[in-house]
A and B are shown apart, each in its own frame.
Chain A
Amino acid sequence: MTLPLPAPIVRWLAAVGRVARITAEHAGELGLLSWRIMVAIARLKVSRHDISTQLYIMGVQSLPIVFVTASLAGIVTSQQGGYQLISSSPQYVLGTLVVQSVILELAPLLTAIVLVGRIGARITAELGTMVVSEQIDAFESLGRDPVAILAAPRLIAGVITMPLLVGFADVIGIVAGMIAANIDVGMGTETFIYGARLFWHSWDLVYGLSKSVVFGFAIPLIAVHMGLRTRGGAEGVGLTTTQAVMFMILTILILDAMFPPLLLQ
């Protein structure tokens, strides 16, 4: 005779099973959506006008917030680095610290998180509203493919925009860090640049931009996927948007953690 498992263990196993099922469901749907987007792109079903519109919304309209975020990231890194290093290391190390931090981590990660809030949430809410107001059904009833019309332009724009924004954030972050170093610890531009060049590896730039391409793919993909899963009315849109933001941030952080073992060994 087998003894029944204690209730807490049964509940725990049920919870694990539920999480595994939901994860597999999302993974399957994301895979299918990616495939449908690739097919739409390969069949040239994606409107160039829609891509331009999304490039403008994701790229040009994000410039101010990316500028502010990158500036502050550069300034804070410079201030804290100056505070910790000034008495123990040569001054020029601060240049190395700011440039490496901005290029390897801060610019790609912070830009991605800004885009999750500015673009990802917007896409999910927009598509979620279209689902609950039957606009997605209307596309299908008219023989149009909502993936080609709505998802593909956003994904293409994300992949193009993200590296450009990260490149912009790199420049702004470094310049802001250099100015802050000058104001805070009186470090001259030449010393800062000397430190930056001393430990410069061109690969670091490739690394940072590679991350941005992956983030630029993941954010719109998850946002579209969650938007198309929306059920219910306004409450459903709110709930899905919140879940999408959490999902995107978590994915960005997990992907970010996967990069060093893959590309920095």
Chain B
Amino acid sequence: MITYRDIHKSFDLPVLSGVDMMVETGEMFALFGPSGTGKSVLLKTTIGLMIPDRGDVEIDGLSVYEGGPSALLEVRRKVGYVFQHSALFDSLTVLDNVAMGLPEEVLQRLSTIEKVRRVWEALDIVNLEPKEVLSKIPSELSGGMKKRVGIARAIVGRPEILLWDEPTTGLDPVNTAAVERLIKRLSKELEVTSLLVTHDVEGGLDICDRVAMLDGGTLRFCGTPVEFRACPDPVVQAFVDRAAAEAALDMVTDTYV
């Protein structure tokens, strides 16, 4: 379970102003909101990639910010993070990129064959052909393949929680749908807790158990997809309508242009 308590974060202006949120163990949770409302910032505070000015995050009862570096490391081992633009290491092959997802001491202990086997398995799970991609470097991969390698790196260490930072950004509709199916399948198959930050509201509502919406630095809504669609709050309604219109426009553009 992930618990956010009174999270505040400012850069030049306040971005998060007291966010309280809870993601239950095993559920798929989507976080929506207009651009610049701090969705990715909140996700990054989960594992200390950004430190909140105030507040704390707990993962299965373990405080991320009050336990010191060892607690932070322990938390990070429980979590797999899928970055918006994959964040693969340019100079490493796919094999080494995915292997980096294994804890350091495990990686040092593994034989080369065992390392390849673990990476192979992870690539297989994300529907990539390991034989074809293992020795490639990120610049030789397509956008969709990079995303899958990024997902393979996040799951190879068998995390209990997966954090997805806009995993479908920059993908065409075919790849977007494929990645969304993959997210849903992985969350069920690997029995992990998933927190998904996305602009793709329709996709998020389709695959998640619960959703929340950030607006103006605070949580505007938290509930099931059905409740979200029926929410009488005019800000939520306007956001749902705009998202639906954008999705329709995307479909028309992709079909005719």
Contact = CB atoms under 8 A, between A and B. Distances in A.
Interface string A25-60: 000000000000000000000000000000000000
B76 A141 contact: yes
A143 B103 contact: yes
A138 interface: yes
B126 to A, nearest CB: 17
Main secondary structure on A side of the interface with B:
helix
A50 B93 CA distance: 16
B84 A135 contact: no
A143 B83 contact: no
Contacts of A138: 81, 83, 87-89
B217 to A, nearest CB: 20
A140 interface: yes
A137 B77 contact: no
Contacts of A3: none
Interface stretch (B41-49, B185-193, B238-246): B41-49
Given A142-B76, A143-B77, A137 B104 contact: no
Contacts of A135: 87-90
Contact of A144 (B44, B79, B104): B104
Interface residues of A, number: 11
Interface residues of B, number: 22
Given A133-B85, A134-B84, A134-B85, A141 B49 contact: yes
A22 B48 CA distance: 25
B96 to A, nearest CB: 12
A141 B49 CA distance: 7
Contacts of B77: 143
Interface string B70-97: 0001001101010111011110000000
A143 B87 contact: no
B101 interface: yes
B125 interface: no
Interface of B: 44, 47-49, 73, 76-77, 79, 81, 83-85, 87-90, 100-101, 103-104, 153, 157
